[in-house]
Amino acid sequence: MKAAVCVFPGSNCDHDCYHVLKHVMGLDTEFVWHRERDLSRFDIIVVPGGFTYGDYLRTGAMAKLSPIMEGITEEAKKGKPVIGICNGFQILIEGGLLPGALIANRSLKFICSYVYLRTETSNTPFTAGIEKGRVLKIPIAHYQGNYFAHPDLLKELNDNDQVVFRYCSPEGEVTDEANPNGSLENIAGVCNRERNVVGMMPHPERCAERELGSVDGRLLFESVVNYVAG
Amino acid sequence: MKAHVYVTMRRGVLEPQGRAVQKSLENLGYTQVKGVRIGKFIEVELDGVSRQEAENILEEICRKLLANPVIEDFRFEIVEE
């Protein structure tokens, strides 16, 4: 099983993702520079966090035009699992692979802290092994993670079960106090209509080993490995 | 040829910077200021195109890159032939 970690100028969570995929999950993992177009040799594609192109213009706006986006889009169309984490989520949204938009946090502050997420669906490759309603403890680190969608789109996301995670209290209640950044309906992660492309602001790769304070992030990687293994 | 492009957050989309600036203006005593929204101003230079071609290109680049139509509106004007 082969995993790709896409690397853009300004990616900075690429090594964390590589470490978890390669050393924790034991996958054959490669860094792939954004100039490459062919990702057909991979089973799992990860678009990591960072500050691609210095967040110029809008987060992810430049990265969406990198050649590797052609490869990501092509493999996504084939149904392969693709996950965008933090800036990776912003890139997939800008590139049109995921719906909505991510704007500045309502506090206008960069937030770096552990948060709680309620798993809203097990029907994606990355949450297939996580029961619906389960609360995960996973950190966030972003300035622009405030999820926005127009009312029609929001309804569509809910109707199609495309909301993957919501920010919640440790007990799993979705409240405004538990919403760190102002995201509409506490949305922390979504998937595409075909369900194989997932984007999320929290960082599962930062909490996949006991030494790091939580192992909840590992559940996402285990899910996708089992999904690909069939 | 030179054009000015204005990109602003669409109505209904929270624009936290503008809100913070409005609060600061209130603190300065400008309680009459009821709304501030911050956007982007972009200067674009074009070469070897007619006015009509320039307008088509500007429309295209705004849609493809300069603005995100999900959250932003744009308008442009050609300021130098």
Task: Give the pLDDT of residue A47.
Answer: 98
Work out the average pLDDT over A194-214. Answer: 96
Task: Give the pLDDT of residue A116.
Answer: 98
Work out the average pLDDT over A136-145. Answer: 97
pLDDT tens readout for residues A14-47:
999 999 999 999 999 999 999 999 999 999 999 9
Q: Which residue of B has its CA nearest to A56?
A: B66
Residue B17 touches partner A, C-beta closer than 8 Å: yes
| Domain of residue B7, residue span | 2-80
Whether pLDDT at B46 is above 90? yes
CATH number of the domain encompassing residue B8: 3.30.1280.10
Query: Reduced to 3 states, what is the DSSP secondary structure of residue A188?
Result: strand
Do A113 and A180 touch, CB atoms closer than 8 A?
yes
Identify the CA nearest to A127 among candidates A49, A46, A224: A224
Work out the average pLDDT over A105-133. Answer: 97
For the beta sheet containing A187-191, the strands, ordered from the edge strand earlier in sequence to the opposite edge, are A28-33, A2-7, A44-47, A82-85, A197-200, A187-191, A163-168, A111-119, A135-142
Rg (CA), chain A: 16
Whether pLDDT at A215 is above 90? yes
ipTM above 0.90, yes or no: no
Count other Cβ atoms within 10 Å, centred on residue B14. 15
Rounded alpha-carbon distances, angstroms, from residue A182 to A167, A187, A223:
10, 9, 28
pLDDT over 90 for what percent of chain A? 99
Residue B68 touches partner A, C-beta closer than 8 Å: yes
Q: Please pick, among A13, A86, A168, A207, the residue that the annotation labels catalytic.
A: A86
Number of domains in chain B: 1
Domain A2-229 class in CATH: alpha beta
